[in-house]
């Protein structure tokens, strides 16, 4: 029989993803009794549960206990938390399910002390290249591991696939796709395929409605950030592109490659999201023209991220696709990523599906925890 | 620093996949110097390389040495090989890259002695359910691991995705798709989407040519087995379906679910592939009718495998798909698998790409080896 495996877990963040991580860990404890995730620290925004003697917190009741008056203790500082975890009886994994920049910046500090990191947060991996290098160097020195499957495409096997290409010696030539659920929806509505030429004679969908109306609808449904400019500026896609490029071996800096923003220059400085939306119709004609040019070329307009490893460049912006291209044929808010590699040749590996959502994002996180548990345990 | 990891490797088979596995292992040794795959046994059909004192065989020159007169020794019997590997100084992985049934049957014997198994071969996992259970029981008892990523969809992350769903507590509801490159090509040619109704007015492609001609062409190009009936009978797809069903928790027996064969009953017993192909045109009308019925319903005819976990059933056969369905839109010889799970809801995870080929199949094998090395080492 394989020996039981133990690892200590610290979780920062108990929101939409964090609560799903807790329930998945609870499921795993019940169904894989030889897998021991000892939850020894659980932090929410204003306090934490933990025991000085490392006695594990009951995962089932943890969220309720956080609500119990007097149960929460003060948050440990980053330094104190690192010491607490480094001194624990088993190896520790820190699950960062916040979007705090300070925590992202401190990953090297945990890693060099042997504490592994799992996170769905893309900040640390898409920040400065120096931080990226520090993170992976610290992990190597500390004998710790890093899991960030959900940093691109949520629970879809994107990062693990990139990793497998790398470690088995395949050469990734090009990675491209739609990694923003918001931009996926906007373009699937604005330039729907049903009106493209190969389908009914008028490519790329002038029948797709007005851009400003679609942006408004997407926001109302909660498909965009509260301020849609945070999606339309392409910076979130640029973060994914940065991560994918680095995984493919390009030491790229964010900001060093072209990112086409869909926020009109004139509306960048405008105060509130409401004001922005009120003035957006003034610019519908520009988007109509973009769509029309693609239509006239028999193509479909999409907003994508591209990593071109062969030519050592990356790009985020509007591109045209053939109507039978899976990128043109996305639906709803789906993401799609296409990997061209030496081994796959002209026939790329394609992964598509939901790239957001609490439970699938959490699945990427707990999957990473299990992988690390097995490697360390 | 993480300590170096050592594992012993025995490889059975040096054909199209086996030779790629060797070159990938050689790449890994060069690029990950802390990863030690010690090749201690390499067998081809009529002999093997190995040293009684477990001195590793040089991977770079191994294939050449197999050709050197006098270098090969007699093959070890299965029992002797198991003892040889069990007594080795590090944990061992047996890579079975043959299609020998006897070896598949003997996996439990290796596993219960602590020897892990990796294989692209589907035989063991799609044989009797008793063998499946014996394999996983033996692995548990022996503390050994099993990797069979390439048993479905070659290097695509199909098995690992199913495993991740399972271990993190997602519930797979339905898995379906095209997992045969040969059948993919045949239907993409026979009922091409370009002639489906949403595209040009005549669904599912009566313009797709004659079935018997397409089968002949596929065989000439080497896309089918030497005897195309080995693809057309659907049994290979049924093996994939059996594996996927079992991974999803259905204790299914092969032969216990409907498999629609495309070999006309009248031609099943006919001698050679040539005779079969010569008589196949007599049955073109039947396939025309199948295609026509789908066309008339505005759908596209495809041959697929389906695992319906909710209703505890599986099926292989002809089905109709909407023209905008990714299954209808496959190209060339691509495979596609669609996973419906509790977490993904109505918006399935879809993986598509090349489901065959020496180097991608080998990548699934070496990826499994690395995963096992990290877990055992």
Cβ atoms A307, A328 nearer than 8 A? no
Phi, psi angle pair for A240, to nearest 5°: -60, -45
Judging contacts by C-beta atoms under 8 Å, the chain A residues touching residue B332 are 347
Instruction: Name the nearest CA neighbour of A175 among A362, A310, A273, A356.
Output: A310
Rounded mean pLDDT, A69-96: 96
Contact in structure between A315 and A189 (CB atoms under 8 Å): no
Flag if B363 and A343 touch (Cβ within 8 Å): yes
Query: How many CB pairs lie under 8 A apart between chains A and B?
Result: 130
Q: Report the sign of the C-alpha dihedral through residues B244, B246, B249, B251, in that order.
A: positive
Chain B residue numbers touching A167 (CB-CB < 8 A): 28, 32, 367, 370
Q: Which of these, A252, A231, A232, A361, lies nearest to A306 by C-alpha position?
A: A252
CB B60 within 8 A of CB B26: yes
What is the mean predicted confidence (pLDDT) over A318-330?
Answer: 95
What is the architecture, at CATH level 2, of domain A5-154+359-376? 3-Layer(aba) Sandwich (3.40)
Nearest chain B residue to A340 by CA distance is B353
Cross-chain Cβ contact B367/A32 below 8 Å: no
pLDDT of A377 over the 80 cut: no
Query: What does DSSP assign to residue A115?
Result: -
- Mean of pLDDT values over A243-269: 95
pLDDT in tens, chain B (377 residues): 566 789 999 999 999 999 999 999 999 999 998 889 999 999 999 999 999 999 999 999 999 999 999 999 999 999 999 999 999 999 999 999 999 999 999 999 999 999 999 999 999 999 999 999 999 999 999 999 999 999 999 999 999 999 999 999 999 999 999 999 999 999 999 999 865 444 444 444 446 799 999 999 999 999 999 999 999 999 999 999 999 999 999 999 988 999 999 999 999 999 899 999 999 999 999 999 999 999 999 999 999 999 999 999 999 999 999 999 999 999 999 999 999 999 999 999 999 999 999 999 999 999 999 999 999 86
pLDDT score for B213:
97
- The closest of B363, B352, B323, B347 to B184, measured between CA atoms, is B352
| DSSP per-residue letters across B83-144 | HHHHTSSS-EEEEE-S--HHHHHTHHHHHTTT-EEE-S--HHHHS-HHHHHHHHHHHHHHT-
Determine, for residues B350 and A347 on separate chains, whether the beta-carbon distance falls below 8 Å.
no
Residue A201's CB is within 10 A of a number of other CB atoms, namely 8
What pLDDT is recorded for position A197?
45
Q: Residues A337, A179: contact at Cβ < 8 Å?
A: yes
Sheet holding A92-96, edge to edge: A47-49, A35-44, A5-12, A92-96, A116-118, A146-147
Residue-wise pLDDT for A124-163, tens only, equals: 999 999 999 999 999 999 999 999 999 999 999 999 999 9
Closest CA to B312 of B260, B238, B253: B253
CB-based contact A345 B354, cutoff 8 Å: yes
CA distance B167 to B60: 37
Among A2, A165, A354, the residue with its CB nearest the CB of B344 is A354
DSSP string, B8-44: EEEEE--SHHHHHHHHHHHHHHHH-TTEEEEEEEEEE
User: Cα–Cα distance between A283 and A288 in angstroms, integer?
Assistant: 9
Residue B202, pLDDT score: 42
Give the pLDDT band (50/70/90) at residue A235. Answer: very high
pLDDT of residue A196: 45
* pLDDT (0 to 100) of residue A1: 53
Chain A residue nearest residue B111, CA to CA = A1
Chain A residues lying within 8 Å of B361, measured CB to CB: none
Residue among B155, B329, B350 minimizing CB distance to A353: B350
In this prediction, residue A251 has a pLDDT band, given cuts at 50, 70 and 90, of very high
pLDDT (0 to 100) of residue B207 = 66
Alpha-carbon distance of B101 to B122, in angstroms, equals 10
- The pLDDT of A22-27, averaged and rounded, is 96
pLDDT band per the 50, 70, 90 thresholds, residue A252: very high
Chain B interface mutation, best of A1, A2, A159, highest count of B Cβ atoms under 10 Å: A2
Question: pLDDT tens across B39-85, in order?
Answer: 999 999 999 999 999 999 999 999 999 999 999 999 999 999 999 99
Write out chain A residues lying below 8 Å of B353, CB-based.
Answer: 344, 347-350
pLDDT (0 to 100) of residue B2: 61
Interchain pair B2, A198: CB under 8 A: no
| Chain-chain contact of B24 with A169 (C-beta, under 8 angstroms) | yes
Inter-chain CB proximity A353 and B354 less than 8 Å: no
Structural domain B162-355, CATH architecture: 2-Layer Sandwich (3.30)
Q: What is the distance in angstroms between the Cα of B168 and the nearest Cα belonging to chain A? A: 6
- Domain residue spans in chain B? 5-154+359-376, 162-355
Share of chain A above pLDDT 70, in %: 95
Q: What is the model's pLDDT at position A203? A: 43
**pLDDT tens digits, residue range B228-249?**
999 999 999 999 999 999 999 9
**Residues in chain B within 8 Å Cβ distance of A140:** 1-2
- Comparing C-alpha atoms, which of A161, A175, A117, A111 is closest to residue A313? A175
Q: Give yes or no for residue A195 having a pLDDT over 80.
A: no
């Amino acid at each position: 029989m394989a020996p039981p495996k133990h690892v200590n877990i610290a979780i920062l963040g108990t929101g939409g993803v964090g609560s799903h991580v807790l329930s998945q860990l609870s499921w795993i404890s019940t169904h894989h009794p030889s897998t021991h995730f000892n939850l020894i620290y659980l932090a929410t925004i204003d306090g934490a549960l933990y025991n000085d003697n490392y006695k594990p917190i009951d995962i089932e009741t943890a969220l309720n206990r956080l609500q119990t008056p007097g149960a929460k203790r003060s948050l440990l500082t980053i330094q104190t938390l690192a010491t607490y975890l480094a001194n624990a009886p088993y190896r520790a994994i820190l699950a960062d399910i916040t979007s705090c920049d300070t925590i992202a910046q401190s990953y090297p500090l945990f890693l060099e002390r042997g504490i592994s990191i799992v996170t769905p947060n893309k900040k640390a991996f898409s920040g400065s290249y120096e931080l990226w290098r520090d993170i992976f160097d610290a992990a190597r020195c500390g004998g710790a591991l890093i899991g960030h499957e959900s940093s691109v495409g949520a629970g879809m096997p994107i990062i693990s696939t990139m990793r497998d290409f790398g470690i088995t010696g395949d050469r990734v030539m090009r990675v491209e796709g739609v990694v923003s659920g918001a931009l996926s929806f906007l373009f699937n509505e604005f330039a729907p395929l049903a009106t493209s030429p190969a389908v009914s004679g008028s490519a790329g969908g002038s029948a797709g409605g007005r851009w400003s109306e679609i942006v408004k609808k997407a926001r109302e449904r909660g498909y965009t950030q509260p301020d849609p400019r945070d999606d339309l500026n392409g910076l979130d896609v640029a973060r994914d592109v940065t991560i994918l490029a680095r995984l493919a071996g390009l030491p790229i800096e964010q900001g060093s490659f072209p990112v086409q923003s869909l926020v009109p220059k004139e509306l960048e400085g405008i105060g509130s999201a409401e004001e922005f939306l009120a003035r957006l119709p003034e610019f519908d004609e520009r988007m109509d023209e973009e769509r029309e040019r693609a239509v006239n070329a028999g193509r479909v307009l999409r907003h994508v991220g591209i990593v071109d490893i062969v030519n050592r460049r990356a790009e985020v912006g509007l591109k045209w696709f053939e109507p039978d291209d899976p990128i043109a044929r996305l639906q709803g808010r789906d993401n799609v990523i296409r990997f061209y590699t030496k081994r796959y040749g002209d026939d790329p590996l394609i992964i598509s599906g939901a790239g957001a959502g609490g439970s699938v994002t959490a699945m990427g996180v707990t999957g990473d925890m299990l992988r690390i548990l097995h490697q360390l345990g």
